[in-house]
Amino acid sequence: MTATTSHSLNALVVEDDKTLNRLLVDQLRRLGFETRGVVSRATALEMLEEFEPSLIVLDIRLPDTEEVEFIGELCEICPIVVLTAYGSIDQAVKAVKAGASEYLIKPASPQSIELAVNRALITAALRRSAVFWQAQARPLKVPNMVGVSKQYNVLRQTIELVAPADTTVLIEGESGVGKELVAEAIHELSPRADAPFVAVDCCTLHENLFESELFGHERGAFTGADRRKDGLIEVAEKGTVFLDEIGEIIPTMQAKLLRVLETGIFRRLGGTKDFQANVRFVAATNSSLKGLVEEGKFRPDLFYRLSTFTIDVPPLRERRGDIEPIARHFLATRKFMRNFEKDFSVQALKALAGYAWPGNVRELRNVVERAVLLSGNLRTIQQGHISLPEDADRSGPKVELSFDHEPTLEELRENYLIQLLETHQGNRREVARVLGVSERNTYRLIKKLGRQKKVGATFLP
């Protein structure tokens, strides 16, 4: 037998239902694929000896370790679109974890097949080129993103590749690593750059408020809605909607968000008319969405929709080469009274380079700002002007938390937060500084405590 050498796109259908198999083969041929259909794993492996597919459509019946392994093997070859029975989204998610690119629920319409197939191919192409570009050195176009480390260069290149593609992007990373900056860069480098970039905080207690913020509301939708209001999706028309803290989104909104992500269709609160959104979605989270899915707190189908393309922003301690350039960048952007330039002493730089930066770039910015103040008129910032938490522990406030049992991590967090709020008289800004997280995040943590009635009204936002 001869190997296929044609450069057209090839597709392989693995489906034991003969009727469905034939339908899929026809459908893919109509989409321009040179297509073969097989009915079992064994015949698929045989076919792969002579046929090189650019895409595989595979029927699945997970959970079955063999099948998971099979997906793992196949996805080394090309992107896989899995077909699953209605009501088995969990299985689809397992398949995706095993390496499948897309899933389709049976019976899948020709349109949804075309969409899934295209998306799988685009994502695969992006991944391949991201890997390719990691090896290349070239000028970078992303503005305002300071960093010279290899990890940061890879990050920038990934952004440049994904920005024009209009796919949904999920940005993961610890607090303060610069996730919002990444989202802005994606927008700036996309064809949507001339339209608005709108950030939406997904952490909110009130369902109606969030829904009306995102989708808008009609007059009379709820008490106090005395006029119609456009949602942020409409405000961002032709631009980018940045869904910050997506892990915090309330369950009822998860379904509505999924709908708009999949179809672009949304409805104003209290309205009856459907609207078509023209926006690109970029989401960010500092907790693992996968973990939230496993805990049952996040819809697997929404997770899957969001995570087609994920960008991980590494913590600062894993790219220490970036500490000095970023610190200098913050120093340079400070305006000084007599307009002179400051610099760091060698010892000061050493102190910065050796620290773990749990609050990442945001913490670095705060430390540099403080050092500027402490150094007064001096041209050189000395080590003594760099105040890092270890120093504070020696001279400043001591933290003691006591429990009559071994506390869980959650209890530790809660108690520490309550103590900090007391020490700083509820000053959120100060608490945020100590914790090395954003004020917005602190706000979220306090609200969570309030919800559990663990802090008094005085501290509530």
Ligand X SMILES: Nc1ncnc2c1ncn2[C@@H]1O[C@H](COP(=O)(O)OP(=O)(O)OP(=O)(O)O)[C@@H](O)[C@H]1O
User: How many angstroms separate the CA atoms of 401 and 420, rounded?
Assistant: 11
Cα torsion angle, 15, 17, 21, 27, sign: negative
Which of 97/428 has CB closer to Mg ion?
Answer: 428
Count of residues touching Mg ion (by CB under 5 A): 1
User: How many angstroms separate the CA atoms of 224 and 256, rounded?
Assistant: 23
Please give the DSSP secondary-structure letter assigned to residue 51: -
Which of 285/308 has CB closer to ligand X?
Answer: 285
Choose the contact partner of 437 out of Mg ion, ligand X, none; CB within 5 to 8 A by kind.
Answer: ligand X
**Long-range CB contact pairs, 454-461, < 8 A, 24+:** 454/414, 454/418, 455/418, 455/421, 458/426, 459/421, 459/426, 461/428
Choose the contact partner of 216 out of ligand X, Mg ion, none; CB within 5 to 8 A by kind.
Answer: none
* Minimum CB–partner distance for residue 180 and Mg ion (Å): 4
Which of 146/235 has CB closer to ligand X?
Answer: 146
Which of 364/381 has CB closer to Mg ion?
Answer: 364
* Minimum CB–partner distance for residue 352 and Mg ion (Å): 22
Choose the contact partner of 146 out of ligand X, Mg ion, none; CB within 5 to 8 A by kind.
Answer: ligand X
Choose the contact partner of 308 out of Mg ion, ligand X, none; CB within 5 to 8 A by kind.
Answer: none
CA-wise closest residue to 162 among 309, 314, 313: 309
* Minimum CB–partner distance for residue 451 and ligand X (Å): 20
| Residue whose Cβ sits closest to Mg ion | 180
Which of 248/301 has CB closer to Mg ion?
Answer: 248
Choose the contact partner of 176 out of Mg ion, ligand X, none; CB within 5 to 8 A by kind.
Answer: ligand X
CA-wise closest residue to 106 among 176, 37, 17, 188: 17
Cα distances (angstroms) measured from residue 76 to each of 13, 15, 117, 391: 16, 20, 17, 50
DSSP conformation letters of 103-171: EEESSPPHHHHHHHHHHHHHHHHHHHHHHHHHT-------TT----SHHHHHHHHHHHHHGGG---EEE
Which of 268/329 has CB closer to ligand X?
Answer: 329
* Minimum CB–partner distance for residue 433 and ligand X (Å): 12
Q: In this structure, how many other beta carbons lie within 10 angstroms of the beta carbon of residue 209?
A: 13
| Residue whose Cβ sits closest to ligand X | 178
User: 229 has which bridge partners?
Assistant: 217
Which of 254/438 has CB closer to ligand X?
Answer: 438
* Minimum CB–partner distance for residue 242 and Mg ion (Å): 9
* Minimum CB–partner distance for residue 363 and ligand X (Å): 9
* Minimum CB–partner distance for residue 249 and Mg ion (Å): 15
| Measured CA angle at 382 (ends 380, 383), to 5 deg | 155
CA-wise closest residue to 173 among 75, 318, 35, 389: 318
| Measured CA angle at 158 (ends 156, 161), to 5 deg | 110
Which of 196/321 has CB closer to ligand X?
Answer: 321
User: How many angstroms separate the CA atoms of 35 and 25, rounded?
Assistant: 6
* Minimum CB–partner distance for residue 54 and ligand X (Å): 36
* Minimum CB–partner distance for residue 179 and Mg ion (Å): 5
Which of 117/435 has CB closer to ligand X?
Answer: 435
CA 29 from chain centre, in angstroms, equals: 35
Site of interaction with ligand X (CB under 6 A): 145-147, 173, 175-181, 286, 326, 329, 361-362, 365, 437-438, 441
String marking each residue 357-386 x if it binds Mg ion according to CB under 5 A = ------------------------------
Q: How many CA atoms lie within 13 A of 161 on its CB side?
A: 22
Choose the contact partner of 47 out of ligand X, Mg ion, none; CB within 5 to 8 A by kind.
Answer: none
String marking each residue 165-204 x if it binds Mg ion according to CB under 5 A = ---------------x------------------------
Q: Which residues contact 3 (CB under 8 A, 6 or more apart)?
A: 50, 52
User: Residues in the site for Mg ion, rule: CB under 5 A?
Assistant: 180
